[in-house]
Structure 1
Amino acid sequence: MAQRYGRIFAALDGASTQAAVAQRALALAADNGSLLTFGHVIDSVPYEASGVDFEALCVEGKKRIEEELRDILEEARNNSAIPAVDLVVRAGRIADTLSRQLIEPFRPDLVICGERGLSNIKYVFVGSVSTYLIRNMRCDVLVVKQE
């Protein structure tokens, strides 16, 4: 019997795979009748010493994602097979904020993220969010590859 996913979390990163991640999440949520949450974390590290208003930054980030993914989000919200669609944006250290503030409280059966294709040097220093999710989530993780 095939795995059914009742709760799907799609991690959006603003990179080239973001639309593909959102589209894959939409398709899987519709096929499974899943609750669907899209989440994005604005990396706070570059701003920590500057006194940036993170709440305002999150509002702007959410507005940007709503515009960039307008068609996909509208299709998800209008799909009767998907009981609920949410978009959440937070600021913080990416892996920690993504897992503790966005994913864990939602308790998904499936997390979908994109592959960013970091250079070997950057990967050594900052790691990979997809690798972090694969190693630390207690549910299935689907990594959408770059085209």
Structure 2
Amino acid sequence: MKRILVGYDGSENAERALDFAIELASKFSARLFVVEVIDLTLFYNSGVLPPLEATKSLEEKAKKDVKKAIEKAKSKGVDTEGITLEGDPAHSILEFAKDNQVDVIVIGSRGLSKVQRIFLGSVSNKIVQESRIPVIVVK
């Protein structure tokens, strides 16, 4: 295991996934990719372009989140790279993993209720269902 990807958004569950991924990367002397995806699909799917201010705000938040995660990982001696992408989170993470020959994906569970899961699904569920590499879902 030489390349680990952690899906990150600054949430409590993402923090737990990051901590797990840092520990895993440290144990295997692996490179850690911290990936945050700016999800504008709700706007695009509704046919409405997102306001420029909203897009900039989301980009700034993502960059700040990733920077914080990189600092945390590097403070533990882990070789880390941060990436922000735009698009559908599950699809973007899976594409990045494929393009960068990632060995395992670590992602936090959102903890959606059964009803929410039926109607909305979750990023972690989509990744687990569609990934061709191992996925670790951290609760």
Q: Indicate whether the TM-score tops 0.5.
A: yes
CA distance in structure 2 between the partners assigned to 1:97 and 1:55 by the alignment: 17
Gaps in structure 2 of 5+ consecutive residues: none
User: Which protein has the bigger helix share?
Assistant: 2
Q: Map of 1:8-19 to 2, 5 A cutoff?
A: 8-19=4-15
Correspondent of 1:77 among 54, 74, 77: 74
1:109–1:140 CA contact under 8 A, matched in 2: yes
**Residue 78 of structure 1, CA deviation:** 4.4
With over 3 angstroms needed to count, the CA separation of the structure-2 counterparts of 1:37 and 1:123, relative to structure 1, is same
TM-score by length of 1: 0.78
- The answer for the alignment partner of 1:110 in structure 2 is 104
Query: What percentage of aligned pairs have identical amino acids?
Result: 24
Gaps in structure 1 of 5+ consecutive residues: none
1:22 paired with 2:18, answer yes
- The answer for the alignment partner of 1:42 in structure 2 is 38
TM-score by length of 2: 0.81
Count of residues in Structure 1 that have an aligned counterpart in Structure 2:
135
Q: Map of 1:58-77 to 2, 5 A cutoff?
A: 59-66=59-66, 70=68, 72-77=69-74
CA RMSD of aligned residues (A): 2.3
With over 3 angstroms needed to count, the CA separation of the structure-2 counterparts of 1:66 and 1:137, relative to structure 1, is closer
Correspondent of 2:121 among 95, 120, 127: 127
With over 3 angstroms needed to count, the CA separation of the structure-2 counterparts of 1:7 and 1:111, relative to structure 1, is same
Moved over 4 A (4+): none
